[in-house]
């Protein structure tokens, strides 16, 4: 193998740059030519390629976002689109690709690997942490810390005004961000898509808390809880606002809603995310050089662990019910 490519795809995540840097520098160290594929699979199809040198990835290990850019590409979901991508990769002499992204990107990576002889290794990069076969994903730790910072700030004003706050965090289909930052931030209730919403229970817990002398409360809700709905302005509005209204109706407590949104996706990656990204980026190069393909690399019990892309896609990453129960007990 002489030439490899690297791309970031799907929702960006802090630490993706550290992974790109590791792929480039480890690749060059091993004598490879490394090509950056810009804008994910869209750039693959359009041959948006750039040879990356050691200096090309200087000064990015600490930066959020992705210097390669990311995009969502419908064309890659078609066989023809992927065939065109393979043509472009071959034309550029790219024999192996490192795909840094979430489960959607992994679906594309898995198909690319099955439909061609290009080596494909996936690295899990998403703040959602919803990828199996790895303890966490790149970006998750940073996003949790961003949420904790927001909770701290909101708690200050919640205490001053004796208010209840509903804070919506990301997690289209998964509650990892809400669960773990809810435990770390001492949220009174944590609402996640994996557990059926029981609004009466939430209200009862709030009332009990206030009877015991609690003056403010934080309810952390993952965006995937309940269905989003269309407002008459045609915009998608968050479920958190409906929740806020319902809570204030049934408890009589003054309630405010904060949707953290995309600020959770940005910012400098934490030490944990940088270290994980650096290890996985370098390991991906080793796996490609060893002739491996159709694999994703995760970190399990502090060791780099390979799994087939298919296994990681077919395995549902389950939330830890014990953590949910613990968060509930500790916030009483």
Using CB under 6 A as the binding rule, whether residue 129 contacts ligand F6P is answered as no
Using CB under 6 A as the binding rule, whether residue 104 contacts ligand ADP is answered as yes
Using CB under 6 A as the binding rule, whether residue 126 contacts ligand F6P is answered as yes
CB of residue 250 to ligand F6P, shortest distance in Å: 28
Using CB under 6 A as the binding rule, whether residue 133 contacts ligand F6P is answered as no
Using CB under 6 A as the binding rule, whether residue 305 contacts ligand ADP is answered as no
CB of residue 72 to ligand F6P, shortest distance in Å: 7
Using CB under 6 A as the binding rule, whether residue 10 contacts ligand ADP is answered as yes
Q: Which residues contact 290 (CB under 8 A, 6 or more apart)?
A: none
Task: CB nearer to ligand ADP: give 103 or 188.
Answer: 103
Task: CB nearer to ligand ADP: give 102 or 298.
Answer: 102
Q: Which residues contact 196 (CB under 8 A, 6 or more apart)?
A: none
Q: What's phi and psi for 219, nearest 5 deg?
A: -115, 120
| Binding partner at 107 among ligand F6P, ligand ADP, none, C-beta below 5 to 8 Å by kind | ligand ADP
Q: Site size for ligand F6P, by CB under 6 A?
A: 10
In the numeric block, which tokens belong to residue 289?
Answer: 């050089």
Active site residue 128: yes
| Binding partner at 172 among ligand F6P, ligand ADP, none, C-beta below 5 to 8 Å by kind | ligand F6P
Q: Site size for ligand ADP, by CB under 6 A?
A: 17
b/e 120-158 (16+ beta carbons within 10 angstroms → b): bbbbbbbbbbbbbbbebbbbbbbbbbbbbebbeebbeeb
Q: Of the listed 12, 48, 103, 128, which one is catalytic?
A: 128
Interaction residues for ligand F6P, span 170-199 (CB under 6 A):
170-172
Q: Enumerate binding residues for ligand ADP (CB under 6 A).
A: 9-11, 41, 72-73, 76-77, 101-105, 107-108, 111, 126
Catalytic residues: 128
């Amino acid at each position: 193998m002489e030439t490899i490519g690297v791309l970031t795809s799907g929702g960006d995540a802090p630490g993706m740059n550290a992974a790109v840097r590791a792929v480039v520098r480890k690749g060059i160290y091993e004598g490879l030519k490394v090509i950056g594929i810009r804008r994910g699979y869209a750039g693959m199809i359009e041959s948006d390629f750039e040879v990356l040198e050691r200096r090309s990835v200087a000064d990015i290990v600490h930066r959020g976002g992705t210097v390669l850019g990311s995009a969502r590409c419908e064309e890659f979901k078609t066989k023809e689109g992927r065939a065109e991508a393979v043509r472009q990769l071959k034309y550029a002499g790219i024999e192996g690709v490192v795909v840094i992204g979430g489960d959607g990107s992994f679906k594309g990576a898995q198909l690319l690997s099955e439909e061609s002889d290009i080596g494909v290794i996936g690295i899990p990069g998403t703040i959602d942490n919803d990828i199996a076969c790895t303890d966490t994903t790149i970006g998750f730790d940073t996003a949790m810390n961003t949420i904790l910072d927001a909770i701290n700030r909101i708690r200050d004003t919640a205490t001053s005004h004796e208010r209840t706050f509903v804070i919506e965090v990301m997690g289209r289909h998964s509650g990892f961000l809400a669960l773990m930052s809810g435990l770390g931030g001492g949220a009174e209730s944590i609402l996640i898509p994996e557990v059926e919403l029981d609004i009466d229970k939430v209200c009862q817990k709030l009332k009990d808390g206030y009877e015991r002398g609690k003056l403010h409360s934080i309810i952390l809700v993952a965006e995937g809880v309940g269905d989003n709905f269309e407002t008459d302005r045609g915009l998608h509005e968050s479920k958190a606002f409906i929740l806020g209204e319902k809570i204030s109706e049934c408890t009589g407590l003054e309630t405010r809603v904060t949707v953290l949104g995309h600020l959770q996706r940005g910012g400098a990656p934490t030490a944990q995310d940088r270290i994980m990204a650096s290890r996985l980026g370098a390991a991906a190069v080793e796996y490609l050089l060893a002739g491996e393909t159709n694999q994703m690399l995760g970190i399990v019990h502090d060791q780099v662990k390979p799994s087939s892309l298919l296994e990681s896609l077919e395995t549902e990453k389950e939330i830890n019910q014990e953590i949910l129960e613990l968060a509930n007990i500790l916030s009483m």
